[in-house]
Amino acid sequence: MNDTVAPIEAPVLFEERAAGRGRRVGVATLNAAKTLNGLSLDMARLLDARLAQWAHDESIVLVVLQGAGEKAFCAGGDLHGLYRSMLAFRDSGSGDIRGNAYAADFFATEYRLDYRIHTYSKPLLCWGHGIVMGGGIGLMSGASHRVVSERSKLAFPEITVGLYPDVGGSWLLNRVPDRGGVFLALTGALLNAGDAIHAGLADCYIEEAKRAAVIDALLTQDWNGDATQNRQRLTALLRDFESPLAPGPLQRNAPTIAAICAHDDLQTIAAAIAELASDDAWLQQAKTTLAAGSPGSARLGYELQRRAATLSLADTFRLEYIASLHCAAHGDFAEGIRALLIDKDRSPRWNPAMLAAATSAWAAPFFTAPWPDPAHPLADLGAPTETSA
């Protein structure tokens, strides 16, 4: 009998690879391929700490962020851990959304990490291969250089689990052309590489087979201590590996989506999506997802995009943090995870069950903070007067 215990692999792998002129390139690899590199609290803590360290290390000139395995960069957050914490919180009978300590810690750590990436002082290359959804978009979206490949599939699928597009999604989706952000939030529609670039969630398309060559090329560049010049060098290097792309379904259906989402109320937009008669399979799948999704999630995603339109990125993360804790306390989030991942019956009992009941007034309490502004756990994130990019 073999009693040898296999070593536990680190959830994030870190390397420092030698480059020219005594410089180094930091490489961080999400290392949970069996769970499609789903972002756990431990992963977020490790990655945030190492990015902070590398930011202050003068010998590190550039960071690469990637995922292990062939299927995904990162398929989202730790839904199982959040589900367990939500059940325990509800069993406690507490009415204070701060009482779910795990959810409070998870969302604060994740949003701080995402914001660090958005504001990182050095070039940060994210290789978004395979599935990039929810929390994965949170990691990727703020990188200075975001690569997608032929297997990339991006989405904000939160409506299927009773959440909403968080991780800064309220801010990001406002910037999708032709009012596409509202459509993506309501339908969880998949974006291929071309559409990800069109939506502003990625920068360039490079075939997956070239990834090793790209990283090798990074090690031969004439990097220096000037982050701006290094970003320009990285942009030029990636251009040498880029391939052309045909428009994806988001672009092909842009006029239809723009007309649908031009309406100024959620119920009219949802009704227009429900009435889509197109033979386009992508549009039909979007229509089906909205019909089966959480009406409360649809309302929260819509309201948050409206509010984030006038907010800085830091203020958006602060608002999303409040909404996420409310979702973990009394929204559809636990029920959505139960139906999709726990019981797997795919028959969630949404509350409210109809969009007509998920009004702006219904959603308003989700934006109520349980603390004064100076005591917000993310109060120090960015500057209060920061303007949106």
Query: What's the alpha-carbon Rg for the chain, to the nearest Å?
Result: 21
Structure tokens at 331: 């929204």
For 108-125, how does the pLDDT look when each residue is reduced to its tens digit (9 = 90+)?
A: 999 999 999 999 999 999
Any domain includes 1 = no
pLDDT of the residue at 20: 86
Any domain includes 387 = no
Q: For residue 6, what are the contacts with CB-CB under 8 A and spacing of at least 6?
A: none
Any domain includes 325 = yes
pTM to 2 decimal places: 0.95
For 14-61, how does the pLDDT look when each residue is reduced to its tens digit (9 = 90+)?
A: 999 999 889 999 999 999 999 999 999 999 999 999 999 999 999 999
pLDDT of the residue at 382: 86
pLDDT of the residue at 6: 47
pLDDT at 387 > cutoff 80: no
Domain span including residue 125 = 12-375
For 79-108, how does the pLDDT look when each residue is reduced to its tens digit (9 = 90+)?
A: 999 999 999 999 999 999 999 999 999 999
Mean pLDDT for the stretch of residues 348-357: 98
Cα distances (angstroms) measured from residue 373 to each of 169, 221, 381:
22, 46, 12
For 224-259, how does the pLDDT look when each residue is reduced to its tens digit (9 = 90+)?
A: 999 999 999 999 999 999 999 999 999 999 999 999
Any domain includes 3 = no
Contact predicate 199/182, CB 8 Å: no
Number of domains making up the chain: 1
Any domain includes 179 = yes
Any domain includes 380 = no
Contact predicate 126/143, CB 8 Å: yes
Any domain includes 199 = yes
Any domain includes 6 = no
Domain at 290, CATH number = 3.90.226.10
